[in-house]
């Protein structure tokens, strides 16, 4: 089963089109995600396979690279308390 | 008591005179009472706002509950004597946010066709910068609190006076030698807008300024990108307690950031370039 993530309660995201600002209202820490990170954030709730597909389609990169980069970023977002992995 | 706050009805139906006086002091601004059109009513009553409120602030000094309805909000207060003023302010602000406007913790100054929100945490220099700006032809609109209508970018003052900490008194004496700040109220000295030459209550916001203090650097401006504008505004709004308000604010800030200029002003060792 593909891994999926959900936004943690209290996390705010402001989508500026080509980048994203994310606020963890518990810690008050703010983060910016670039265009690629925005794609990962937007599709994370649909699962890793969908994220990888979106990255490959949008940026014409190979599946292994997309999967590796997305997983690394998603793990960071979990570590920062912005996402929870749900399965 | 019934007030208008930027067009929103604020109906206060409580017996506690201290609560009524407190609400009048913090929310009754006749100059902007009808500045916007809004079909939204906030009712403050004793007891719980509903059996299942959307928000509850509990504090030993009192409990405040908020229930959002279609075209308004019900706020319930409990506690004898009620002293949970911060919670009540946050709750009314949350209700105002549900009505579609944004509360900014910011100083605001205006000159010609420019109106700048000076954003920074307490103690960085919002008031001092506003005071310095007033000495250079800018007119203050707010020192600490302002409401922003995200649709029109109209911004409205929501405070009554300028509060200065002791370290700012030297600068006050330098810039405005005729002003006597008197004795401090708690830890802050109060200067009226009239003493600074007057205020305006409303304008159209054009710029967001992220104030930073760096005594080792010269005072200077740099440009902000859109994400930095959003982060600066977020630091000034804080995150609403209600999820629906957080979602609304996220969308509002994305829209607002596209229409505003943004700068960082370092308050450094040289005179401010205002």
User: Could you report the per-residue pLDDT of B85-96, keeping only the tens digit for each?
Assistant: 999 999 999 999
User: Could you report the per-residue pLDDT of B20-79, keeping only the tens digit for each?
Assistant: 999 999 999 999 999 999 999 999 999 888 889 999 999 999 999 999 998 999 999 999
Q: Identify residues of A whose CB sits under 8 angstroms from chain B CBs.
A: 9-10, 12-16, 19-21, 23, 25, 28, 30, 32
Phi, psi angles (nearest 5°) of residue B201 = -95, -20
Q: Do A15 and B249 touch (CB under 8 A)?
A: no
Tell me the HSE value of B152 on the side-chain side, using a 13 A CA sphere. Answer: 12
Nearest CA in chain B to A17: B254
Residues B134-158, mean pLDDT to the nearest whole number:
96
pTM listed for this prediction: 0.93
Cα–Cα distance between A60 and B250 in angstroms, integer?
30
Which of B230, B238, B243 minimises the CB distance to A21? B230
A11-15 and B2-5: which strand pairing? unpaired
Mutate to test the interface with A, among B254, B255, B256 (most CBs of A within 10 A): B254
Per-residue pLDDT band at A87 (split at 50, 70, 90) = low
Which of A9, A16, A30 minimises the CB distance to B234? A30
A29: chain B residues, CB-CB within 8 Å = none
DSSP string, chain A: ----EEEPTTEEEEE-SS-EEEEETTTTEEEEE-HHHHHHHHHGGG-HHHHHHHHHHHH---HHHHHHHHHHHHHHHHHTTSEEE--
Residues B93-106, mean pLDDT to the nearest whole number:
97
């Amino acid at each position: 089963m593909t891994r999926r993530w959900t936004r943690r309660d209290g996390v705010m995201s402001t989508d500026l089109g080509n980048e994203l600002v994310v606020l963890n209202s518990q810690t008050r820490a703010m983060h910016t995600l670039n265009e690629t990170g925005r794609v990962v954030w937007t599709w994370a709730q649909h699962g890793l396979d969908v994220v990888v597909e979106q990255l490959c389609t949008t940026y014409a990169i190979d599946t292994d690279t997309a999967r590796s980069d997305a997983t690394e970023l998603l793990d960071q977002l979990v570590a920062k308390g912005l996402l929870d992995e749900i399965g | 008591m019934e007030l208008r706050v930027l067009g929103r009805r604020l109906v206060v139906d409580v017996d506690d005179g201290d609560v009524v006086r407190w609400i009048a002091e913090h929310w009754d601004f006749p100059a902007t009472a009808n500045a916007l059109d809004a079909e939204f009513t906030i009712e403050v009553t004793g007891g719980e706002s509903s059996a299942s409120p959307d928000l509850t602030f509990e504090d030993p000094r009192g409990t405040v509950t908020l229930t959002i309805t279609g075209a308004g909000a019900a706020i319930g207060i409990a506690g004898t004597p009620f002293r949970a003023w911060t919670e009540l302010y946050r709750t009314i602000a949350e209700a105002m946010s549900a009505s579609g406007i944004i509360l900014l913790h910011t100083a605001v100054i205006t000159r010609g066709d420019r109106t700048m929100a000076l954003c920074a945490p307490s103690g960085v220099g919002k008031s001092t910068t506003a005071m310095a700006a007033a000495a250079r032809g800018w007119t203050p609109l707010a020192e600490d609190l302002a409401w922003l209508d995200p649709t029109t970018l109209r911004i409205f003052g929501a405070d009554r006076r300028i509060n200065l900490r002791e370290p700012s008194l030297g600068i006050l004496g330098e810039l405005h030698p005729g002003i006597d700040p008197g004795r401090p109220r708690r830890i802050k000295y109060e200067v009226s807008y009239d003493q600074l030459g007057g205020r305006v209550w409303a304008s159209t916001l054009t710029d967001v300024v992220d104030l930073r203090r760096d005594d080792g650097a010269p005072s200077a401006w740099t440009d902000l990108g859109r994400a930095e504008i959003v982060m600066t505004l977020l630091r000034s709004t804080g995150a609403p307690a209600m999820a629906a308000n957080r979602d609304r604010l996220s969308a509002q800030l994305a829209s607002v950031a596209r229409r505003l200029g943004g700068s960082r002003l370092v308050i450094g060792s040289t005179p401010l370039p205002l």
